[in-house]
Amino acid sequence: MCGIVGYVGTQKAASILIEGLKRLEYRGYDSAGVAIQQEGRIDVAKKAGRVEVLAKEVARRHFSGTAGISHTRWATHGGVTDANAHPHLSSDGKIAIVHNGVIENYLSIKKFLLGKGYAFVSETDTEVLGNLIAYHYAKETDTKPGSRLLESVRKTLRHVEGTYGIAAICIDSPSEIVAARKGSPLLLGVGEGEHILASDAAALVSRTRNVVYLKDGELVQITPDSFSISTVDSLEVSPVIDQITWSIKDAELSGYAHFMEKEIFEQPAALENAMRGRFSEDGSTANFGGLNLSATDFRQIDRLVFASCGTGWHACLVAEHLIERFARVPVEVDYASEFRYRNAPLDRDALFFVISQSGETIDTLAALREAQRKGYKALAICNVVGSTIARESDGGIYQHAGPEIGVASTKAFTSQLLISAMLALYLARLRDMSYSDGVTYVQGLKAAPDLVRRVLDQAPRIKEIAQRYAQCSDFLFLGRLSLFPIALEGALKLKEISYIHAEGYPAAEMKHGPIALISERCPSVFFVPQGELFNKIVSSMQEIKARKGKIIAIVTEGSDLPAGLADETIWIPDCHEAVLPIVATVPVQLLSYYIAVARKCDVDKPRNLAKSVTVE
């Protein structure tokens, strides 16, 4: 949610910043801007609209400076206008700032600054921050050379309530950036004679793989040849330099039309990565290195509580189903945004889990902290290495799905499903699951990548189906048991990228209200796996058919679905029960993707959305 890039070095900053912004555009795409230090000035270019619009303006102005900051915005305070785009200049023209987050007490600070003669040209909370830095900077005349901007930022942050990732430059200090974070991600890339700041590794991996993940409450001061980290309370911090393990190629389209398409097709590899090295030698259970709890600890647990947002929440629902079904441990699932406020009573021996692709979702992070505050161990299933949730959790499981750029989550979701299935296996084998059932389960999981490949092979057929239904106004997605969450996920995928109204329901629940929506323009996508509820689901389909509703059925290969009941059939291979949610997800991802493409929607940057939601 909003992307920041900063650069100091020997190269022209503008093109490096624009390249970085393009890679961060999925974080927000309302407006974008740069501020470049050159010839004793700070030159600002900013535009409402996509980074491409800014790139043209930057090219026209031939910026030559070698230090600067930049931003791509997802609007919170103030509409989408050139004036509200970042960077913001202080009214004395000395400080330029970019900001990700929300300053909650900005109105009282603004009142104070207006009284001191500072003027404002935007409606943003960020401009208040920039002017407060300028106010302190004007008073910091006795500070030792080289520390004046840093100390002004530090003083400012002591007065600020809310969340921020910021980067600031000062007209008097042409090769310096000061940045800080609290609640919004920020990384420092350590290069040769250059340093680069970014909200996400994707923006800096083309220049360096050596990174420092800043922590909440830390400030960093960078010049081309040096960096130093300290806290808002003026304590020095010894930096830990980590290595990014993926390369720039992983964050590029590589011939695909959209990142969403690429990431759907990367799922077999993502699933393989999630399993690698995580099965016991005897092939009967899963092993996780980073849980930081022993098998004995896990045996004490009498309940698991999962919290997440959006697609991750759907993964939690699948985890609930699989853990209760195979390990017979009760599981509760909560929206992270609700958990953090509703003061839920938890059992004494509960274990708390969050699921987050980005590891930066503020509601999920707050839920994790709330569970920890109550004294619970809180673990995370997370994709982004070094993210805040990964760092603050008491242990967890990395997904290793690679960077996910498309705003609509795809490969991260199926990888979360696979890890949930492995967790269910691990817990089940600690309790009542036999060795031979464990071996069968592991073999079932190992087959998942190939089974997903078989579903992907049907992409051309699913594309044809999508084109036939692309102009419908509503969709129902209907599934039962472990496929009810996949119905929810199918509905979310469709609505977020194609703007078609869609709802997910347990198939039998449909007759208690949603059936009223059925018409020729409201098809139903049914999940119809072969199994215990097959006949019940077929009855639900008959009820839709009797009302002239169109049916797209996702059906197990070889199924004895009555001929003519479904208008369209998509086949999924027979598989282990724990893998069923994974293989059933792929058709609805493809269906949503091709419908959105047919409707000419901007698949990777759907309106109003941002990939990583770092504000409440």
- Residue range at the interface with ligand M6R (CB under 6 A); choices 28-36, 221-229, 534-542, 607-615: 607-615
Of 296 and 608, the one with the shorter C-beta distance to ligand M6R is 608
**Of 20-28, 55-63, 350-358, 511-519: span binding ligand M6R (CB under 6 A):** 350-358
Determine which residue in the list 76, 184, 356, 420 makes contact with ligand M6R, applying CB under 6 A.
Answer: 356
**Is the dihedral angle over the CA atoms 341, 347, 348, 354 positive or is it negative?**
negative
Closest residue to ligand M6R, Cβ-based?
A: 310
Q: Is 12 a catalytic residue?
A: no
Cβ 271 to ligand M6R, closest distance in Å?
Answer: 17
- Single residue of 76, 273, 357, 540 touching ligand M6R by CB under 6 A: 357
Q: CA 43, 46, 52, 57: dihedral to nearest 10 degrees?
A: -50
Q: List 8's β-bridge partners, or say none.
A: 67, 195
Nearest distance in Å: CB 135, ligand M6R: 36
Binding mask 287-326 for ligand M6R (x = CB under 6 A): ----------------------xxxx--------------
Length of the chain: 616
Q: 280: how many CB neighbours lie within 10 A of its CB?
A: 14
Q: Who contacts 215 (Cβ-Cβ below 8 Å, separation ≥6)?
A: 181, 237, 391
Stretch that binds ligand M6R, among 49-57, 198-206, 320-328, 605-613 (CB under 6 A): 605-613
Find the binder of ligand M6R among 409, 414, 420, 524 (CB under 6 A): 409
- Cβ-based nearer residue to ligand M6R, 103 or 336: 336
**Among the options 2, 309, 316, 382, which is catalytic?**
2
Q: Could you say whether residue 595 binds ligand M6R (CB under 6 A)?
A: no
Judged by CB under 6 A, does residue 613 bind ligand M6R? yes
Please say which residue, 208 or 311, places its beta carbon nearer to ligand M6R: 311
To the nearest whole angstrom, how small is the minimum distance from the Cβ of residue 409 to ligand M6R? 4
Count other Cβ atoms within 10 Å, centred on residue 436. 9
612 binds ligand M6R (CB under 6 A): yes
| Phi, psi angles (nearest 5°) of residue 168 | -130, 145
- Span near ligand M6R by CB under 6 A; candidates 144-152, 210-218, 353-361, 367-375: 353-361
* Token reading at 491: 């509905």
| Count of beta carbons in the 10 Å neighbourhood of residue 50 | 18
Spell out the residues 6+ positions from residue 137 whose beta carbon is closer than 8 angstroms to its own: 94, 95, 148, 149, 152, 170
Residue 496 within binding range of ligand M6R, rule CB under 6 A = yes
Q: Which two tokens stand for residue 300?
A: 């004490």
**Strand, coil or helix: 431:** coil
Say how far apart CA 210 and CA 187 lie, in whole Å.
Answer: 10
- The string of DSSP letters for 535-590 reads HHHHHHHHHHHTTT--EEEEEETT--PPTTS-SEEEEE----TTTHHHHHHHHHHH
Paired residues of 68 in beta bridges: 7, 36
Nearer residue to ligand M6R within complex by CB, 194 or 496: 496
Q: Is 252 helix (H, G, I), strand (E, B) or coil?
A: coil
Assess 396 for contact with ligand M6R (CB under 6 A).
no
498 binds ligand M6R (CB under 6 A): no
- CA dist., res. 378 & res. 370, Å (int): 9
Considering beta carbons, is residue 208 or 410 the nearer one to ligand M6R?
410
Using CB under 6 A as the binding rule, whether residue 184 contacts ligand M6R is answered as no
Q: What residues between 415 and 434 interact with ligand M6R by CB under 6 A?
A: none
Q: Which is nearer to ligand M6R, 489 or 568 (CB)?
A: 489
- How many chain residues touch ligand M6R (CB under 6 A)? 16
DSSP state of 42: E
Smallest distance from ligand M6R to CB 444, Å: 26
**Cis geometry, peptide bond prior to residue 87 (ω within 30 degrees of 0):** yes
Select the residue interacting with ligand M6R from 286, 301, 408, 507 (CB under 6 A).
Answer: 408
Question: Is residue 198 involved in binding ligand M6R (CB under 6 A)?
Answer: no
Collapsing DSSP states into helix, strand and coil, what is residue 211? Answer: strand
Give the count of beta carbons closer than 10 Å to the beta carbon of residue 431: 12
Phi, psi of 431 (to 5 degrees): -115, -105
Based on the shown chain and the rule CB under 6 A, indicate whether residue 407 belongs to the binding site for ligand M6R. yes
Q: In terms of CB distance, is 208 or 356 closer to ligand M6R?
A: 356
Among 208, 223, 267, 364, indicate the residue that binds ligand M6R (CB under 6 A).
Answer: 364
The C-alpha atoms of residue 307 and residue 317 are separated, in whole angstroms, by 10
- Asked if 200 touches ligand M6R (CB under 6 A), the answer is no
Pairing of strands 501-506, 474-479: parallel
Residue 179 binds ligand M6R, judged by CB under 6 A: no
Judge whether 309 counts as a catalytic residue. Answer: no
208 contacts ligand M6R (rule: CB under 6 A): no
Cα–Cα dist 609/74, whole Å: 8
Mapped onto helix, strand or coil, the DSSP state of residue 505 is strand
Phi and psi at residue 376, to the nearest 5° = -90, 150
Of 47, 411, 605, 611, catalytic: 611
Q: Please, what is the minimum distance in Å from the beta carbon of residue 340 to ligand M6R?
A: 14
* Complex with ligand M6R: residue 183 or 312, whichever CB lies closer: 312
**Token pair of 386 as six digits:** 């070094």
**What amino acid positions are annotated as catalytic residues?**
2, 611
Residues forming the site for ligand M6R (CB under 6 A):
309-312, 356-358, 361, 364, 407-409, 496, 609, 612-613
